Amino acid sequence: MYINFDVWKHFCIFAVTLRETIFFNQLYQGHEVRYPKAGDFIADRKHLFEIVRTVVLTKEMCRIICIFLSIFLYYPYKQKKENMKRVFIDMDNVLVDFQSGLDQVSEEVKAEYAGRLDEIPGLFAKMKPMEGAIEAVHELQKHYDLFILSTAPWKNPSAWSDKVEWVTKYLDDVFHKRLIILHHKDLCQGDYLIDDRGKNGTSEFAGEWIEFGSEQFPNWESVLRYLLPEG
Ligand SMILES: [Mg+2]
């Protein structure tokens, strides 16, 4: 590759940016170029050029800010998350009060979907949180790596989007992009699964199954007593 000697000399002596070097190389063709004490170049002893570096500085500042955030904020956060135990939380009758959704449906619709009430379109977005659920996950969030692990009726496509809507409405800051919907919960690896039923792989979960609604864990208060460090 041929390198113009004057460009190379200019690059070495002044250690300027690539942008200035390219400009110099263009200007040098047909003009006398000198280096003033102030500014970047003087062409033909009368035209002073200053190469504006606003964009370069902006990029440099962005890089510095990103590095700063990575070192002082992101990596400690990431490391803390990696050291946390992982907890999966079921939705229906654990985070979400299933009956509260049904209470908002007309008798006509209930009759139409008799025997398959979980197929009522839009039902899952109507449901209210279980008592103490919102406060509990905010508390657990400080100590555990949390995910929602739920199933949705196969024949009710709106249930899948309803669940995203519900999580976004009530708990987006805790579970943003942390919603897993599948029918084989045992495929997920973690330390605890809080679930009210042993179906869909829950009873085969490799970690500990906290059976919500059982004698040992009748409500969120009892779950928090078990999972949160004392004091
Ligand atoms: Mg459930």
For residues 174 and 66, membership in a common domain is answered with no
Looking at residue 175, its pLDDT comes to 95
**Cβ count near 119 (within 10 Å):** 16
Among the listed residues 6, 40, 44, 92, the single catalytic one is 92
For residues 94 and 46, membership in a common domain is answered with no
**pLDDT tens column, 84-118:** 999 999 999 999 999 999 999 999 999 999 999 99
CATH of the domain at 173: 3.40.50.1000
Looking at residue 1, its pLDDT comes to 44
Residue 11, pLDDT above cutoff 70: no
For residues 18 and 123, membership in a common domain is answered with no
Three-state secondary structure readout of the chain: CCCCHHHHHHHHHHCCCHHHHHHHHHHHCCCCEECCCCCCEEECCCEEECCCCHHHHHHHHHHHHHHHHHHHHHHHHHHHHHHCEEEEECCECCCEEHHHHHCCCCHHHHHHCCCCHHHCCCHHHHCEECCCHHHHHHHHCCCEEEEEEECCCCCCHHHHHHHHHHHHHHHHHHHCCCEEECCCHHHCCCCEEEECCCCCCHHHCCCEEEECCCCCCCCHHHHHHHHCCCC
For residues 181 and 70, membership in a common domain is answered with no
CA of 231 to the centre of ligand 1 (A): 30
Tally of CA atoms within 13 A in the half-sphere of 151 that contains its CB: 17
Instruction: Please indicate whether residue 90 is annotated as part of the active site.
Output: yes
- Dig out the tokens for 212 from the structure: 């919500």
For residues 135 and 67, membership in a common domain is answered with no
Q: How far is CA 139 from the centre of its chain?
A: 19
CA of 153 to the centre of ligand 1 (A): 12
* CB contact set of 216 (below 8 Å; sequence gap of 6+): 222
Residue 139, pLDDT above cutoff 90: yes
CA of 94 to the centre of ligand 1 (A): 6
For residues 122 and 211, membership in a common domain is answered with yes
For residues 181 and 71, membership in a common domain is answered with no
Total domains present in the chain: 2
**pLDDT tens column, 35-51:** 787 777 788 888 888 77
Looking at residue 15, its pLDDT comes to 47
For residues 124 and 165, membership in a common domain is answered with yes
Q: Which domain holds residue 92?
A: 85-227
For residues 184 and 113, membership in a common domain is answered with yes
For residues 140 and 154, membership in a common domain is answered with yes
For residues 68 and 173, membership in a common domain is answered with no
For residues 75 and 118, membership in a common domain is answered with no
From CA 81, how far away is CA 229, in angstroms rounded?
A: 17
